């Protein structure tokens, strides 16, 4: 049976869902043998920080799944596991969370406990970009169609639980998943509001079903807009990297995102949830040392956790160090011309736990360098914060527009990650816009709150009032964008 469900509450496209259960009840009533005390307090503090960093993606992912589906998907905005949810409209002006205004997203949490889950996707119509990504519970990328082609043919993928020995239907691509839960995100390009109806045709042709289920149920309708996932980012250079606002619904009362919720947990609550999540999401073989550190702390898969009262100061200090680590741009980030983005190692992290945790906290749903890169900037070429009271120019030399196999966009957000909240002619500039070229073939993009005049209106990106952030998205980028050979031009104040 094909499973499709209407969204009834704006969500951060299912990886970081709103309207969920409190973690307090899940974390209550724990008792176990306290960990052995260490004579060197500094060593224990470092161990706690390392263990926290290692486990953060799994804790945030566990919270996100719980809030997306809960135990029985009974809360507003929730839907069962193995169920596609579709955003069916672009985000409104003023929407928070660095939302994409150029894609619609369909998402699902897959549960592989009993058997494989099969995802059937239609072929992309001519010129219509879409990317299907799947992540394990540790946020590693299991599958991404844009790694191969930004305009895929019809595809059927079976996500298979570890150790499964059965037979799949002919023509189905097998993807082995190391964790019970898999998060699926499918983004379809939309060229403005009038194009939404055509993009929806792709969404209604998508199918999710267990291997043993019958086929044939028709698609359900979906809600208007839900904040897009995998879209949050902010300028590293200004120290204003986003803190998970992309998860928040566009309502008067914004809920804390799963990464924010994970970061707010104390040591006992955090490591208890981690221990429980490890039951369904075993670590990689190369994670033996990290697991040994957890065991030394008294954190073991499926077992309750309790620390000595006397260890509280050291535990709190270790968590504080880890949170600072997650707020610090990793050294392997690419930084050029005032822009910062990530390339090598993203999506397939190996033992780079710091990068994995940083992105799980600050830029959830990050794909591989072949599927997307997102340079962000919050300062101009003189290292001053971008502000709508000024006028800025991005000067692209001839043939130096963003190099992509798919498409690119440039969007301005408030410093808090919201879209421009006034009536403007556009919310982004992309490769589909008819940008006016200079005589030498170069292109100047103007970013300002006020219109630069009719002569330059085609190249104008409206900016919010006050401080703002620029985000460039390159979907299916060419190698020179993900390795730093190419970089966005500096943002020059005029």
Q: Which of 76, 72, 84 is nearest to 121 (CA)?
A: 84
Residue 307: inside a domain, yes or no? Answer: no
Specify the pLDDT at position 76.
67
- The model's pLDDT over 135-162, given as tens digits with 9 standing for 90+, comes to 999 999 999 999 988 999 999 999 999 9
Q: What integer pLDDT is reported at residue 69 of this predicted model? A: 86
- The pLDDT score that the predictor gives to residue 466 is 94
* In a domain? residue 96: no
Asked if the structure places residue 449 within a domain, the reply is: yes
111 lies in some domain: no
**436 in any annotated domain:** yes
Q: How many domains does the chain have?
A: 1
pLDDT of residue 476: 96
Q: Residue 92 has what pLDDT? A: 83
Note whether residue 254 is domain-resident. no
Q: Which domain holds residue 423?
A: 338-493
What CATH number is given to the structural domain containing 370? 2.60.120.600
- Render each residue's pLDDT in the chain as its tens digit; 494 residues: 444 333 332 333 333 323 222 332 322 333 333 444 443 456 688 999 999 999 999 999 999 999 888 766 567 667 789 999 998 898 888 887 789 999 999 999 999 999 999 999 999 988 899 999 999 999 999 999 999 889 999 999 999 999 999 999 999 999 999 999 999 999 999 988 889 999 999 999 999 999 998 344 444 434 444 433 333 333 333 333 333 333 333 332 346 789 999 999 999 999 999 999 999 999 999 999 999 999 999 999 999 998 988 899 999 999 999 999 999 999 889 999 999 999 889 999 999 999 999 999 988 889 999 999 999 999 999 999 999 999 999 999 999 999 999 999 999 999 988 898 767 888 999 999 999 999 999 999 999 999 999 989 999 999 999 999 999 999 999 999 999 999 999 999 99
With respect to residue 486, please indicate whether it lies within any of the assigned structural domains.
yes
pLDDT number for residue 422: 66
Q: Is residue 237 part of a domain?
A: no
């Amino acid at each position: 049976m094909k499973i499709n469900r209407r969204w009834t509450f704006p969500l951060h496209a299912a990886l970081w869902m709103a309207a969920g259960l409190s973690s307090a009840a899940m974390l209550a009533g724990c008792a176990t043998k306290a960990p052995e005390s260490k004579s060197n307090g500094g060593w224990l503090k470092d161990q706690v920080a390392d263990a926290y960093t290692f486990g953060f993606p799994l804790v945030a992912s566990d919270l996100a799944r719980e809030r997306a589906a809960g135990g029985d998907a009974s809360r507003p905005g929730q839907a069962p596991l193995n169920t596609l949810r579709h955003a069916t409209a672009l985000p409104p002006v003023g929407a928070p969370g660095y939302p994409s205004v150029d894609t619609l997203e369909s998402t699902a949490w897959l549960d592989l406990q009993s058997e494989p889950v099969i995802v059937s996707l239609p072929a992309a119509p001519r010129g219509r970009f879409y990317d299907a990504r799947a992540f394990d519970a540790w946020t590693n990328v299991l599958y991404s169609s844009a790694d191969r082609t930004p305009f895929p043919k019809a595809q059927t993928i079976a996500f298979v639980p570890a150790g499964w020995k059965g037979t799949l239907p002919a023509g189905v691509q097998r993807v082995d998943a190391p964790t019970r839960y898999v998060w699926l995100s499918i983004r379809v390009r939309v060229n403005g509001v009038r194009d939404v109806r055509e993009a929806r045709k792709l969404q209604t042709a998508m199918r999710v079903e267990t291997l043993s289920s019958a086929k044939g149920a028709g698609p359900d309708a979906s809600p208007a807009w839900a904040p897009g996932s995998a879209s949050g980012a902010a300028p590293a250079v200004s120290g204003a990297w986003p803190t998970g606002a992309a998860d928040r619904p566009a309502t008067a009362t914004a809920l804390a995102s799963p990464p924010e919720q994970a970061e707010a947990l104390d040591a006992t609550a955090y490591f208890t949830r981690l221990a429980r999540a490890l039951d369904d999401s075993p670590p990689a073989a190369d994670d033996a040392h990290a697991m040994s550190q957890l065991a030394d702390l008294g954190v073991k898969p499926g077992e309750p956790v309790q620390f000595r009262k006397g260890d509280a100061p050291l535990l709190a200090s270790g968590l504080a160090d880890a949170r600072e680590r997650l707020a610090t741009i990793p050294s392997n980030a690419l930084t050029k011309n005032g822009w910062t983005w990530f390339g090598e190692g993203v999506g397939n992290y190996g033992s780079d736990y710091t990068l994995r945790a940083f992105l799980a906290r600050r830029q959830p749903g990050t794909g591989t360098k072949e599927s997307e890169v997102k340079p962000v900037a919050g300062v101009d070429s003189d290292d001053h914060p971008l502000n709508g009271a000024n006028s800025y120019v991005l000067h692209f030399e001839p043939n130096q527009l963003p190099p992509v196999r798919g498409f690119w966009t440039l969007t301005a957000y408030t410093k808090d990650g919201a879209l421009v909240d006034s009536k403007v002619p556009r919310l982004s500039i992309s490769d589909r816009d008819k940008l006016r070229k200079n005589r030498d073939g170069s292109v100047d993009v103007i970013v300002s709150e006020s219109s630069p005049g009719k002569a330059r209106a085609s190249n104008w990106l409206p900016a919010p009032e006050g401080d703002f952030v620029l985000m460039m998205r390159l979907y299916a980028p060419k190698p020179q964008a993900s390795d730093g050979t190419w970089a966005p031009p500096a943002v020059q104040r005029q």
